Amino acid sequence: MTDSATSRGAGRTSPPATANDQFEAAYRGTARAGSRLAELPWETGEPQPVVVRLAAQGAFHGDILDVGCGTGDHTLHLASLGHCVTGVDFALSAINTALAKQRQRGLKATFAVADACELAGYEAAFDCVLDCGLLHSLPVERRSSYLWALRRATRPDAVAHILCLTDRLAAHGTFQPLSEEELRGLFGKDWKVESLTPETLVGRSAGEPTSLPCWHLTVRRLR
């Protein structure tokens, strides 16, 4: 069983310190009481139903990157199906929790602390990418860096599945929902948009289950 976290890209350019600190504090359990991040509303302890369905349909293949993996539920679900998968997140506390889950379940996967906007050390490493909730969490000014990092980390003809909140929701703090036009524009240069469909993400709000509208964007790397 692989049971180690590796640190990639020491000296990397990190997200703004405030955003990094907020997410790290949330995963560490020291976020300000009452803040939106304090209850980790995206962490349900289970993989998202849409990801489970995509996996059952054969959407994931080859060497898989779960970017912004959080505490590893999607990475471990894919690993349980026999996939070769790497989960990365810039929050060390999230990766430590993912490793604890991995040890408990006895699954083979790789977890690493890494900046999604650089993905240093992962050049041409992946055939498939899952982004469930990362893109809408990035500052707008970092999106282009993220897309460049994805291109560099993937192989030609790689497929990426992007699940992000739609602009039916208002921007709030660290969350920046995207419109259909924004998504198509972001991925229009180095990626071919294969499909863009409405989906639902489940989460928690004030301790209660909630459902949020999201996009499922499937893109293929052109070159």
Residues 145-180 have pLDDT tens digits of 999 999 999 999 999 999 999 987 755 556 788 999
Span 35-65, pLDDT tens digits: 555 455 667 789 999 999 999 999 999 999 9
Q: Looking at the domain assignment, is residue 28 inside a domain?
A: no
pLDDT class for 137, splitting at 50, 70, 90?
A: confident
- State how far the Cα of 213 lies from the Cα of 178, in Å rounded to an integer: 11
> 124: how many CB neighbours lie within 10 A of its CB?
13
Mean pLDDT, the chain, as a whole number? 85
Question: Which structural domain range is residue 203 located in?
Answer: 44-221
d(CA 169, CA 167) in angstroms, rounded, equals: 5
Confidence category of residue 4, pLDDT binned at 50, 70, 90: very low
Task: State yes or no: pLDDT of 112 exceeds 60.
Answer: yes
How many Cβ atoms from other residues are within 10 Å of residue 173's Cβ?
11
Pick the closest to residue 143 from 213, 36, 151 (CA basis): 151
Looking at the domain assignment, is residue 8 inside a domain?
no
Whether residue 9 is contained in a domain is answered as no
Question: In DSSP terms, which residues pair with 66 in a beta bridge?
Answer: 87, 130
Alpha helices for 8-142 (secondary structure H):
17-28, 49-56, 73-80, 92-105
Confidence of residue 10 (pLDDT cuts 50, 70, 90): very low
CATH of the domain at 165: 3.40.50.150
Answer yes or no: is 98 within a domain: yes
Least trusted range by pLDDT, from 22-31, 86-95, 156-165, 188-197: 22-31
Is residue 67 predicted with pLDDT exceeding 50? yes
Collapsing DSSP states into helix, strand and coil, what is residue 162? strand
Identify the pLDDT of residue 208.
74
> Nearest 10 degrees: CA dihedral of 203, 61, 142, 98?
50
With CA atoms as reference, report the closest residue to 40 among 196, 183, 207.
207
**Rounded distance between C-alpha atoms, residue 23 and residue 20, angstroms:** 5
Mean pLDDT of 24-38: 57
Question: At residue 2, does pLDDT exceed 80?
Answer: no
pLDDT at 14 over 60: no
Q: Pick the closest to residue 135 from 162, 172, 168 (CA basis).
A: 162
Q: Compute the average pLDDT of residues 63-90.
A: 97
d(CA 50, CA 199): 7
- What is the number of domains present in the chain? 1
- What does the pLDDT read at residue 120? 96
